[in-house]
Homo-oligomer: A and B are copies of this chain.
Amino acid sequence: MVKYSGALDTTFGALADPTRRAILAMLMQGQASITELAKPHQMSLPAVMKHVRVLEHAGLVSQRKMGRTRRCQLAAQPLKDAEEWLSHYRVFWERQFDALERFLKEEETKENSKWQHRNRNKKPHSN
């Protein structure tokens, strides 16, 4: 349980950065080298490597040596675990949005009946 909790710490920590999320999005399309990952960002290679290391530490990316270059690839398990943790709250947000919808419908009904009542009590125009 502690290990799992610690894993969620590093997963969520790694996801709390737009460059790292962009790297994961790129890796979803397939393996890539550090140079390829750096291309869309105005960043030095060491800066991108630092981000990749954070992702690697969180188990979100693995690196494989192929000849003289290293290829990075996305690892799915930590993302699945994080989504599983968040999904426990689905019941809560669905309940909260249902309550909001009910409230808005009730307000609409109230407004409509007020409007009808006002129109009924209005004197007809005499031409």
Contact = CB atoms under 8 A, between A and B. Distances in A.
Contacts of A21: 5, 8, 85
Q: Size class of A's contact patch? A: 20 to 34
B93 A86 contact: no
Contacts of A79: 86, 89, 92-93
Nearest to A74: B92
Copies in the complex: 2
Classify the secondary structure of A's interface with B.
helix
Given A12-B13, A76-B89, A79-B89, 14 more contacts: A8-B16, A9-B17, A9-B18, A10-B16, A12-B12, A12-B16, A13-B13, A16-B16, A76-B93, A76-B97, A79-B92, A79-B93, A80-B90, A83-B90
Given A96-B76, A97-B76, A89 B12 contact: no
